[in-house]
Chains A and B, each alone.
Chain A
């Protein structure tokens, strides 16, 4: 390399200057001898690690056992569930620093494709596994354990001064923001369409100002999936709208990526309307509307969401590869997920609704019994 460096000094100079690595100049980055090494040097620059080892806890023995566990856990799937699994991984790393957890979020469907090809240990999902996906898994000989970990609730909002509206049905919501509501500027306009769809809700004579998540948001997708899609498909069959429009909203509203902007928008006009993830409503000065999903009006509260009565909510799952569940690293990670730290702290840290105690118990039991299938 020395003689080469003299003659091709300029090439060497680029190597040094650009890679900003001292090693890149004299050595061979990507040299063949380096491949195949799997040693994992301890991450000494990790402040969280020392904090965790210094913390004396009740289950010190268990913690010590966890710190001996090594291996890797590969997780992929829903980008909605991704933050929970990441939060669990962060907390888990403090107690089991030698386990390398990788979390990715390409989407529920893509996640199941990888999972059923045996490429991931755990698949995050914002819905239950579909029959076709389960068949693909079965064909590949992959058995799974379904674990419900949390709930993603969506709050439907209006202004505090909008006293005329308290509860809306799915038909009403479709009439306000569905694809057929383009151009509606008054609640009355939506009321006429809602009446056509069989709703008996009375709408006020108020200007309709919609501020809601845009198409890039997961909350937007969830709202369509839960509320609009079903009615949209029926309307498409009836010929009122085209097939392409069945799973969309009206395009003419103020869309915002920032939930706080949406809440400000809702607070800014008397006849406002919008929706955000339930966790973001906190103590905001907005009115949470009750929603009638066919079984009467239910207000959005942590209890009704966790209990499954509030209709604009969906469960979040992780699917564990049953064969990989025997692996020390994978089982330690899922054990941690199933603890209070996982199902309670991690879920609420990233803004989702924690399961009821009973539902948590079911999840934990399913895991401990390694219950195969849904």
Chain B
């Protein structure tokens, strides 16, 4: 009886405070404000960074964008041929290598781990290792690339080439692709699988017609975020031998015969120009403009990811 009264009082209090909107939940309110501040700070930093970069690079972005997009590495910031074409070319080929190598391998490994592999100690050990690999500093992957893809497999990659760089970065993002794909597959409701089996489908049919379509949006988001990461990496490329000074004899964007030649990439160009700006201050706006170009490339990738994800979410 007594217990019932207390319970009633509490309930009544909670209901009245909710109804009359009396903010008696002080701690909750404070927490909410803190969260809003955290969000605001994050957004503010991003906004300042964006505005600052675009302002710094504006003279180039507004003045000679066409030349800038088609130019290359030069010694003087005033050179009309100074530009990021060679970097865009390198970064795009790296993206192609990541898409062709890391995506099928990573998604395949994830499907195996989630759907086929027995839940044994070995599997969980492998799983743990993949998670650890995702946290290994990118420089370490650069060393791996230098030892294996530049030196060891020189006959295949041509040494310090965009091929070696692409394979290195594909290996770098492979664990991330596996983890995100695994999570997406794990999120597929068990009932879908059971319904499939119940209807007499084979394992392969269930994976192909139920699990993959359902997990596709999640897999896509993860893989494309890992692609953005691969495009933004500079440290492994320095070790693999990206060129900072001058790159002669380069040609078109899709010229496959150049895959074994020396290369450079957008993050490398940005690093180099920031350093050069000490000698020739005109490189500072060039670096800022190159950052904007890289941001646009990454944003294009991310919006492609969002577009595709929405597309598949509608389908499912």
A interface vs B, CB < 8 Å?
10-11, 13-15, 17-24, 29-31, 34-41, 43, 45, 47-48, 72-75, 79, 82-87, 89-90, 93, 99-106, 213, 216-219, 257-260, 277, 349-351
Contacts and interface: CB of A to CB of B under 8 A. Distances in A.
B53 interface: no
A215 to B, nearest CB: 11
Given A21-B96, A216-B275, A100 B249 contact: yes
B99 A14 contact: yes
Contact of A34 (B252, B256, B277): B256
Contact of B246 (A101, A216, A277, A350): A101
Contacts of B253: 21
B269 interface: no
A18 B304 contact: yes
Interface of B: 70, 73-76, 79, 81, 92-93, 95-97, 99-100, 103, 156, 158, 163, 166, 216, 220, 223-224, 227, 238, 241, 243-257, 259-262, 275-281, 284, 300-301, 304, 307-308, 311-312
Given A100-B249, A349-B75, A219 B278 contact: yes
Given A29-B256, A102-B247, A103-B243, A218 B96 contact: no
Contacts of B241: 104
A41 B258 CA distance: 10
B9 to A, nearest CB: 58
A259 to B, nearest CB: 7
B244 A82 contact: yes
Given A29-B256, A72-B248, 9 more contacts: A10-B220, A15-B99, A18-B227, A35-B163, A89-B248, A102-B247, A102-B248, A102-B262, A277-B279
B278 A19 contact: no
A36 B163 CA distance: 12
Given A21-B254, A48-B81, A217 B248 contact: no
Contact of B92 (A21, A101, A213): A21
B143 to A, nearest CB: 15
Nearest to A21: B254
A19 B259 CA distance: 15
Contacts of B158: 35
Contacts of B257: 34, 37-41
Main secondary structure of the interface of A (DSSP, over half): mixed
Contact of B100 (A10, A29, A259): A29
Nearest 6 pairs between A and B by C-beta? A100-B249, A103-B245, A103-B246, A86-B75, A34-B256, A37-B257
Nearest to B98: A18
Contacts of B81: 47-48
A260 B251 contact: no
Nearest to B73: A86
14 contacts: A14-B103, A14-B304, A17-B308, A18-B301, A21-B253, A30-B96, A35-B156, A35-B158, A35-B260, A79-B275, A100-B248, A104-B245, A349-B75, A349-B76
A246 B20 CA distance: 71
Contacts of A18: 95, 99, 224, 227, 301, 304
A21 B93 CA distance: 10
Contact of A257 (B74, B261, B278, B304): B278
B5 to A, nearest CB: 61
Contacts of A74: 262
A19 B99 contact: yes
Contacts of A45: 70, 252
B166 A30 contact: yes
Contacts of B301: 18
Nearest to B284: A258
Contacts of A90: 74-75, 79, 246
B278 to A, nearest CB: 5
Nearest to A7: B208
A108 to B, nearest CB: 14
B67 to A, nearest CB: 9
A84 B281 CA distance: 17
A86 B82 CA distance: 12
A75 B254 CA distance: 26
A260 B284 CA distance: 13
Contacts of A351: 279-280
Contacts of B260: 35-36, 38
Contacts of A21: 92, 96, 253-254
A40 B301 CA distance: 31
A99 B169 CA distance: 30
A30 B163 contact: yes
Contact of B279 (A43, A47, A75, A218): A218
A259 B262 contact: no
A81 B88 CA distance: 26
A269 to B, nearest CB: 21
A216 B278 contact: yes
Contacts of B103: 11, 14
A23 B277 contact: no
